[in-house]
Amino acid sequence: MAAPAVLVSGGAGGLGAAAARALAARGCAVAVADRDLEAAEAVALACRTHTPASFAIGVDLTTAEGPERMVERAAEGLGGLDALVQCAAAAPVEPFLETTAAAWEAALFVNVRACALADAAAGRIMKARGRGGRIVHVTSAAARMALPDYAAYAATKAAVDSLTRSAAVALAPFGISVTSLSPGMMDTPLQLRTEEAFARLAGRADLEAFRAERTARIPMGRRADPEEMAAMIVWLVLDAPAYMTAARLNVTGGLDKD
């Protein structure tokens, strides 16, 4: 039986890289897509130790054609597409009263428009193959919070929650499930850049103390490890019940309370 073919966007680092490696370790052939092609190649190389068909794709998700081209290149290189995992994200930080069009465009283009266009492109391929498929979005606890210095990111992640439901209903007749994972705080490069910006805006010079205070807000008292969140993505792609769709999996240590 052929290895499951999976495309991971934002796969060059952080959760995307951890997810790509974990999926490959479970026998998936992975297309690792990212704007940083060199870093994506390094992750794909690690994936090839498990599945030789894995490879990297360079993509600019801010362009109108980027998401569809990414999906088509993945399907062509992998000989089909069984799952799409969307980890790519733009996370601009700026005070609400100083909000800029550039920040909103970055967040909207990558977090929402690219997500929707990639969903549709993957859905068309999966529908034509007639074998169903799975799509996983990475959302955020920020989608349910009031974050005036992070408004574009939070609003676009709320849009991802909405898109998860809409895409799930649209694709359900073809046996394609659409779910999302909310991973809470993780020690990833994106998280660190974001907290450095938050600390700067708050006039806080001691970044470690600032981060410790944020960690203390988590009921379980610690941050998520990217590998444990990657395990949840693997579960959604390979092990979750086929009847599960339109679901938002909240794995935030109690930060995001359903």
At residue 134's C-alpha, the angle toward residues 241 and 86, to 5°, is 125
Q: Which residues on adjacent β-strands are paired with residue 56? A: 32
Asked if 153 is an active-site residue, the reply is yes
Q: What residues contact 198, with CB distance under 8 A and at least 6 apart?
A: 93, 149, 150, 210
- Distance of alpha carbon 235 from its chain centroid, rounded? 15
**Annotated active-site residue in 144, 153, 224, 253:** 153
Interatomic CA distance for residues 158 and 152, integer angstroms:
10
Inter-axis angle of helices 207-216 and 189-201, nearest 10: 110
Inter-axis angle of helices 114-129 and 151-171, nearest 10: 20
Q: Which residues on adjacent β-strands are paired with residue 84? A: 7, 135
Q: Which one-letter amino acid corresponds to residue 44?
A: A
Q: CB-based burial of residue 59 (10 Å sphere; 0-12 exposed, 13-18 middle, 19+ buried)?
A: buried
* Cα–Cα nearest to 139, from 231, 15, 29: 15
Please identify every residue annotated as catalytic.
153
